[in-house]
Amino acid sequence: MSLETALTRLSASELANRIRTGDVTASDAVEAHLEQIERLDDELNAFVTVCADDAREAAAEADRALERGDHVGPLHGVPLALKDLGALKEGVRHTSGSPLFSENVASETSAIVERLENAGAIVIGTTNTPEFGHKGTTDNGLIGPTASPIDTDLNAGGSSGGSAAALAAGMTSLATGSDAGGSLRIPAAACGVYAIKPTFGLVPDDGRPTAFGRKTQHVTKGPMARTVEDAALMLEAMAGSHPADPSSVPVDIDPLGALEDSIDDCRIAYSPDLDVFPVTEEVRAVVEDALGAFEAAGATVEEITVDHGSTLEELQEATMATYMTSILETATVLEEAHGIDVREHPDEVSDSFLAMVHIGEKYGPTELARSGIVRTEFYDAVQDVLAEYDVLLTPTLSRADVGLREDLASSAWEWPLTWPFNWTGHPVAAAPAGLSADSHPVGLQLAGGRFEDETVLAASRALERERPWDHLYE
């Protein structure tokens, strides 16, 4: 195995340690990942922009800092990919997955990127996303679809699909993502990596021109990685209140400390389908086999019903009101901030995004108010479960075979069991559960009480110890 290949298989925490001890250099690490991008990305299509020259320069400076004996952060020299939506770095092209913004260059750096860079991470490029992050598969009119490295006939999931694929293929050590309906968790499941949607407000979002569009659907940014420890390292750097985000909260957590917590006394609830989702036997078999890992780690696992009282159709109608309104809000902000009415650019805007804009126009305060009743009933039902149990487990996706260019228009809300948790704001992780009989990746969701992110991380780490998933990247 070459040095370059070996470095791209290391966890971020191990790579950072080897850089700090002088075993390898930051320049070695960056060069190895750039070579991996060159070797694999033509097939996977995970990156939109590769910042090769800037990354090499930053790595050289990181090496000089160690030579000088400077104090360095926990991610010193580790390559980081940024989702090409909301995670901005000044001077880098950020397209939001849209041909309309193909030449857009960020004029500022987002708070979470600044924090990760302060911890020592080196931005290596930006990763693919569907146009404005509007759907659960990654495909756009700018660079096309992103494939899952586990099976390139499958889509990487969305909307953080480029980040998940880049991680699974060893093209980056860490990556950012964001989640409005499952956009961290869907691609984590589709690519066999780990992601956590933190409790809403824990990770700040200083995005502009509006700071008030993230509450109804609880949109949040979060870490994506190959290991739970790496995600905890990222979350430790990213979390913390910020004056530019009116939704951020001053809650202190200890992500890394949580990894040492035992789950001996942990009570885990398992819902095979959130009462209503059409989960396939293929997925259910893999997830239920993985439940034994928690029992082996000392936890008790009980199958439950969530008892939210709604049919899948009623849940879908509620999320149509919230999600489609948020898409219309995106279109409105684009018009106000950039003078671009997406409805006047049908040749440059995807049909699916335009369709969502038009659907959003049909919803108003009345529909949102009605949806609030359904959303509250679901929230209360999850709270009731988490009052009795420490963690709620579900499959991440109802099926594991979504094709690279598959159109999910008729079943988009049936596929992910993720979006109801964007109403509730609970922390929810997505971890690899294993491979199906057809070698398709299957994911497991772990939900915890609000601001109990440490509990979610501890349970995730227990799963990883009992059922390691690093073989997925070989």
Residues designated as active site = 83, 159, 183
312 in helix, strand or coil? Answer: helix
Tokens 């439940």 belong to 291
Burial of 220 (0-12, 13-18, 19+ CB in 10 A): buried
Q: Give the span between the Cα atoms of 427 and 421, in whole angstroms.
A: 8
294 in helix, strand or coil? Answer: helix
Q: Give the span between the Cα atoms of 313 and 319, in whole angstroms.
A: 10
Q: Which of 431, 428, 419, 417 is nearest to 460 (CA)?
A: 431
The answer to whether the CB of 80 falls within 8 A of the CB of 175 is yes
DSSP conformation letters of 18-41: HHHTTSS-HHHHHHHHHHHHHHHH
Tell me the two tokens of residue 263.
């789950």
Backbone φ and ψ for 230, nearest 5 degrees, come out as -65, -40
DSSP conformation letters of 182-196: STTHHHHHHHT-EEE
Whether the CA torsion 95, 422, 452, 206 is positive or negative: it is positive
Q: Give the span between the Cα atoms of 153 and 404, in whole angstroms.
A: 5
Q: Which of 96, 209, 211 is nearest to 159 (CA)?
A: 96
Q: Give the span between the Cα atoms of 452 and 426, in whole angstroms.
A: 8
β-strand pairing of 151-155 with 300-303: unpaired
Tell me the two tokens of residue 147.
């494939």
